[in-house]
Amino acid sequence: MPFPVDLAEKLQQLATKLELKPEDIDEQMIRGSGKGGQKVNKTASCVQLIHRPTGIIIKCQKHREQSKNRLSAYKLLILKLEMQLHGEESAIAKKIHKLKKQKQKRSKRAQAKVLDQKSKRGEIKESRKRVE
């Protein structure tokens, strides 16, 4: 049985690989909360998905339209399920690890740059001293 939303081909394949069935998902349209004023309080644009076998609950209220929130919620559910089943081998975990490594390299470079500037500043101060 196909999903009730049009997922990208890559996500569709991932869902079949994870054996995610649309029958296992409870879908609710609920009223949103937070910023947005009266419109948020009147319309049920927030989407909540519950995956019964794993107990994963996804709430999505990123967009104004219910259809976009529904699509985003299904994407999040598939990615979160992959993260839970495959752990560090999932695509998201690999991406997060790569970003952390890049930030570490960046911080080492920044620290080296600060130390270099500090030593130059010390040399300038040293050159201003009186010679006796």
Question: Which tens digit of pLDDT belongs to each residue from 65-109?
Answer: 889 999 999 999 998 888 888 877 777 788 888 998 888 877 888
Residue spans of alpha helices (H) in the chain = 9-17, 38-42, 66-86, 91-128
pLDDT score for 40 = 75
What are the tens digits of pLDDT across the range 29-42? 998 877 777 777 78
Q: 87's torsion region: left (phi>0), alpha (psi -120 to 50) or beta?
A: left
Determine what percent of the chain is predicted with pLDDT higher than 70. Answer: 99
pLDDT band for position 52 (50/70/90)?
very high
Q: Residue 111, Cα to own-chain centre: how many angstroms?
A: 28
Sheet hosting strand 56-60, strand order edge to edge: 25-30, 46-51, 56-60
pLDDT band for position 123 (50/70/90)?
very high
Cα separation, 52 vs 22, in Å, equals 11
